[in-house]
Amino acid sequence: MATPSININATRLNRTLAELGRMGETSGHGLRARGRVDALWPIRRVGSEGKICAENTEREYAISLMRQAGLETRIDPAGNIIGRKPGSNPNLPAIALGSHTDTVPNGGKYDGALGVLGAIEVAQTLAENSRTLRHPLEVIVFTNEEGTRFHRWLLGSRAMAGLLEPEDYTAVDDEGVSLERRLVDIGGDLSRIDRARRHRGELAAYFELHIEQGPTLHQTGTPLGAVTGITGRYVFRVEVQGKANHAGTTPMASRHDALAAASHIVLATQRLASEAEICRVATVGNIKAIPNAVNVVPGEM
């Protein structure tokens, strides 16, 4: 006999998404980069008085919802939040659901958060209907997935996969504070971060509900898509050396303009994805001219 299906509480899920979104809200410009404040810092300053309100952090909010759903929570050495519910067969590996709560600067309220709160809603629905899976169920909130704060992305998930790099251990944020210190703030421990690794046989599967960041589903009227591939991420820092000189007196033929040279790199990067089809997408997202003055030929990029 087939097991009767059950439905989540869509009203509750939308409410929790709205509540989480308000914690990073900015006036008319989406959400602040939650990864800069909350993903690696358990307190935030809110209100005109600048009072510290630890109870309003997104991490603590997620933990409270996990506990309401009957999950046992812990924080691993990488700062990942893990909520777990035992299955009827303790010998089976866990089924994991989750995502992240940090976001890019001025991002939307669904990026990452939908996967976290959707996973918690699944756990809550199972509890309310007295359903126990054969497999243990885990809900995971990954630390610093977007990499906004330390420019070291996928930190928590790479730690769990055993794919950390030497540069991760020495990372510092824009305020000059080390990753080691920030991890302490959220219950992590850089000296033990290798123990965040999950080994073969611990997890049977991982599922993540995520919004589409692009327009394809919307434009085609498709309500839901199943991911069959993912874009790999490579980031390169390119330095272009020219020669700074006075913009008003240096003849064009005598210039070594670093910005003009860099513009060719920008256009070539676009062609890699659009014409040559070497890669699916390519972006130049950050550029800085030195000395960055309107009356000086850029000498360095």
Is the domain of 17 the same as that of 113?
yes
* Domain end point (choices 167, 187, 220): 220
Q: What is the pLDDT of residue 72?
A: 97
Inside any domain, residue 231: no
CATH number at residue 188: 3.40.630.10
Is the domain of 128 the same as that of 263?
no
- Looking at the chain, the whole-number percentage of residues with pLDDT higher than 90 is 58
Q: What is the pLDDT of residue 93?
A: 97
Pull the structure tokens for residue 243. Answer: 């020669």
* Domain end point (choices 203, 220, 237): 220
Pull the structure tokens for residue 206. Answer: 């991982």
Give the lowest-confidence range in 129-138, 167-176, 246-255.
167-176
- Looking at the chain, the whole-number percentage of residues with pLDDT higher than 70 is 87
Is the domain of 277 the same as that of 152?
no
* Domain end point (choices 220, 235, 254): 220
Alpha carbon of 246 to those of 175, 249, 250, 257, 263: distances in Å? 34, 6, 6, 11, 20
pLDDT tens sequence across 252-276: 999 999 999 999 999 999 988 888 6
Is the domain of 215 the same as that of 255?
no
Is the domain of 25 the same as that of 79?
yes
pTM over 0.85: no
Is the domain of 251 the same as that of 181?
no
Q: What is the pLDDT of residue 1?
A: 63
Pull the structure tokens for residue 49. Answer: 């008085």
Inside any domain, residue 4: no
Is the domain of 286 the same as that of 137?
no
pLDDT tens sequence across 161-192: 999 999 999 999 888 889 998 899 889 999 99
Inside any domain, residue 135: yes
Query: Residue 284 is part of which domain span?
Result: 245-297
Q: What is the pLDDT of residue 156?
A: 94
More confident residue, 57 or 10: 10
Is the domain of 109 the same as that of 252?
no
pLDDT tens sequence across 93-120: 999 999 998 887 777 788 889 999 999 9
Residue 58 has pLDDT above 90, yes or no: no
Is the domain of 144 the same as that of 258?
no
Is the domain of 155 the same as that of 255?
no
- When divided into structural domains, the chain yields a total of 2
Instruction: Give the confidence band of 31 by pLDDT, cuts at 50, 70, 90.
Output: low
Is the domain of 213 the same as that of 250?
no
Is the domain of 110 the same as that of 171?
yes
- Max avg pLDDT among 128-132, 231-235, 273-277, 281-285: 128-132
